[in-house]
Chains A and B, each alone.
Chain A
Amino acid sequence: MLVLLAGIFVVHIATVIMLFVSTIANVWMVGSSNFGTISTGLWLLCNKTCTQLPVSSRDEASLKAVQAFMILSIIFSVVALILFIMQLFTLEKGKRFYMTGAVMLVCWMCILIAVSIYTARFTGTMVYSTNPHHGYCFILAWICFCFSFIIGILYLVLRKK
């Protein structure tokens, strides 16, 4: 049981780190153009140097929603981590990590909303480039989506020894 708990803790930390990388690095979509490879993310469009991401007026609200919900998911995953460490010391034996599990599931919901909006709106075409394909940040976000769900459910099921 202790090994399982340690394993979940490691996966949780990995999720937090992956969320940070995915939100901060600007490699959600990658494409090729006359100037080389261009990558776009949530914040900037990067070639060798980075400039402001060009976004059409009808996509502006969607982009802001994706940015907001990715930041919210980071906040909730860090809060869940801190809550887990606190509950590890204050919870009585035999009880479940309800709070941590609940916060982790809220984090899962935020990631779900963010990546769904991004996949629906921004993965069709990419500005200034041909042959666009998904970058590693997009894939990391979906991996975090799966991990956060599993971790949330496990926190709700496990008992403290």
Chain B
Amino acid sequence: LPGLHVFAIAFALEVSVGKTNTVMALNNSNVLLPCTFISCIGFQDLVFTWYFNSTELVADPAPLPLQIYHGKIKNEASEPTVVWHNPRVEFVGSITKKDYNISIVLNSVEFSDAGKYTCHVKNPKEKNAQHNATIFLTVVHKMVETDNTVTLIIVGVVGGLIGLLILFMLIKRVVLFIIKKTQDGKKECLVSSSGNDNTENGLAGSKAEQKAPPKA
């Protein structure tokens, strides 16, 4: 009903299921179906319902949504009370904080539980404004770990190349150092045997030493 939808936005009753609307659960585990709603004006005798629409059964005409939890909340100060619920569904929400939480937990999920879960809220204080949000549940046999061989190959090759580069630089430095050391040894011998030319451009003291012998 489009008219009612516009009405709902105008009065700002909004239901949300969080950042993602898909949930994956392991067979035979308990899964949390999150749902929160906000209301600017506040609420009185609010009614909320969870529906389940199976995607496993394909029939013509399409099967009607199944009600799995029906509850009501008197006002912001009171806790939600249950009107009717499916025995496998457990209510875990609370109204104490600013964000009103009406999440449920589905116990021991089976493969037939996969499908569309709708969280529907109706607020009589906002002239019976309604809003809903849906989550898609999939049930898997086992959780598969993400495969990261591509990342490993890339990191391995880049790391190996950087290592080789560092090794190459180190070896180059060491070899040059050794060559310089052996050549320095040879140079020292040359300097001491000739004795005059190389030190003229150096310290002033050497020049004085040079001058002294001729005077004597």
Q: Say yes or no: A72 contacts B149, CB within 8 Å.
A: no
Q: Does B189 contact A (CB under 8 A)?
A: no
Number of B interface residues in the complex (CB < 8 A): 7
**Looking at chain B's contact residues, is the secondary structure mostly helix, strand, loop, or mixed?**
helix
For residues 145 through 167 of chain B, which have their beta carbon under 8 Å from a beta carbon of chain A?
A: 149-150, 153-154, 157-158, 161
On whether the beta carbons of B150 and A72 are closer than 8 Å, the reply is no
A67 surroundings in chain B (CB, below 8 A): 150
Set of chain B residues within 8 Å of A106, measured between Cβ atoms = 161
The 8 Å CB contact of A71, one of B149, B154, B161, is B154
**Interface size grouping (class) on chain A:** 10 to 19
Which residues B11-32 have CB closer than 8 A to chain A?
none
B150 touches A64 (CB 8 A): yes
A68 contacts B158, C-beta separation under 8 Å: no
CB neighbours (8 Å) of B157 from chain A are 68, 72, 110
Q: Which residues of A contact B154 (CB under 8 A)?
A: 68, 71-72, 75
Q: Tell me whether A68 and B161 are in contact (CB under 8 A).
A: no
Please measure, in the bound complex, the distance between the C-alpha atom of A101 and the C-alpha atom of B149, giving whole angstroms: 29
Tell me whether A71 and B158 are in contact (CB under 8 A).
Answer: no
**A64 contacts which chain B residues (CB < 8 A)?**
149-150, 153
Query: In the complex, what's the smallest C-beta–C-beta distance from A104 to chain B, in angstroms?
Result: 13
Segment 115-166 of B: residues with Cβ below 8 Å from A: 149-150, 153-154, 157-158, 161
Apart from A61-B149, A67-B150, A68-B154: 19 A-B pairs, beta carbons within 8 A: A64-B149, A64-B150, A64-B153, A65-B153, A68-B149, A68-B150, A68-B153, A68-B157, A69-B153, A71-B150, A71-B154, A72-B153, A72-B154, A72-B157, A72-B158, A75-B154, A75-B158, A106-B161, A110-B157
Query: Which residues in B have some Cβ–Cβ distance to A below 8 Å?
Result: 149-150, 153-154, 157-158, 161
Interface residues, chain A, CB within 8 Å of chain B? 61, 64-65, 67-69, 71-72, 75, 106, 110
